[in-house]
Amino acid sequence: MFFRIVLDNIFLIYKKNKERGIMMKKVGVLYFSGGGNTKKMAEAIVEGVKVAGGEAEMFKSTEFSGEAKDYDAVAFGCSAAGSDQLEAFLFEPFWNKSKVTMEDKKVVLFGSYGWSTDWMDRWSEDAKNAEVNVIDTCICKAEPDEDTLNTCRELGKKLAE
């Protein structure tokens, strides 16, 4: 029932925007998740995009064959790995390829960690140095709670604006 109500609301928003000549933003949610926590965050961002009337596509970075630059806005997610860093083999090369193509698109960085928040600080700094337009970040220790998921939904809405 809940999902039916959400889908009905998405359809109404889409219909009203189409009548007004407002195009939906296409948002890519591209992530790596070692244990599933970052995936839950990605799913919440997708929910937020759709509630705001946008179109969202969600892919694991290892299964994504497109180009991040083809989206109007992008959320990049990665769980902390090793000594609190981006996952070095399955995500970081993907990020390094994508970050140079973001121009002035809205970007959100998100993910979960186990020990320290330093990895997000380093990732945000790397994005800043690459002149990526990071509008916000969201992190959580281990499994995201409802407050974190609500924050992710709000970030999805921001990306769809």
Is residue 2 domain-resident?
no
Q: Does 6 score more than 50 pLDDT? A: no
Domain count, the chain: 1
Give the CATH number of the domain where residue 37 resides. Answer: 3.40.50.360
At 98-148, the pLDDT tens digits run 999 998 999 999 999 988 889 999 999 999 999 999 999 999 999 999 999
Q: Please state the pTM of the whole predicted model.
A: 0.86
Q: Quote the domain boundaries for residue 118.
A: 25-160
What tokens does 12 get? Answer: 């109404």
Considering only the C-alpha atoms of the chain, give the largest distance between any 2 of them, rounded to a whole number of Å. 51
At 16-50, the pLDDT tens digits run 554 544 568 999 999 999 999 999 999 999 999 99
Is residue 75 domain-resident?
yes
CB-based contact 124:134 (threshold 8 Å): yes
Beta strands in the chain (DSSP E): 26-32, 55-60, 73-78, 106-113, 133-141
